[in-house]
Amino acid sequence: MLKAIREDEEAIRVFGYSTLSYKLAAFVVAAAFAALAGSLFASFIGFIDPTAFNVMESVFIISVVILGGFANIKGSLLGALVLVLLPELLRFVGFSADIAAQMRQALYGLALILLMLYKPQGLMGEYKF
């Protein structure tokens, strides 16, 4: 139903479905998962402060979604797998820590540029722009 609402909300309303209730339910479920993730993260590190969340963390999360593909859970999992394993593979190449960190950022950027050029919906994305 949420895919149908994303594609054409007005058509779903014509068939008598309450799109507001579906969107509200999706929002509540997403908020519950965010609260669970936040509480688990807080218990893992012991405390939360603003420095725990920086710009690079946000860029990484957005990169995972863009690489994997929009509107697809499997794509997001694949994107996370690729972007988590990439730094681990660079660890065995033998670069120093400073160079490996810069190469990781450069590879993230290169992967995003190539994906936007050749496959804009992501590796497994269903949503076409």
pLDDT tens per residue across span 35-84: 999 899 889 988 888 887 888 788 888 888 888 877 778 888 888 888 88
What pLDDT does 129 receive? 56
Q: What angle is formed at CA 44 by the lines to CA 38 and CA 45, rounded to 5 degrees?
A: 95
Between CA 16 and CA 120 the distance in angstroms is 34
Domain residue limits, the chain: 1-46, 54-129
Q: How confident is the model at residue 32 (pLDDT cuts 50, 70, 90)?
A: very high
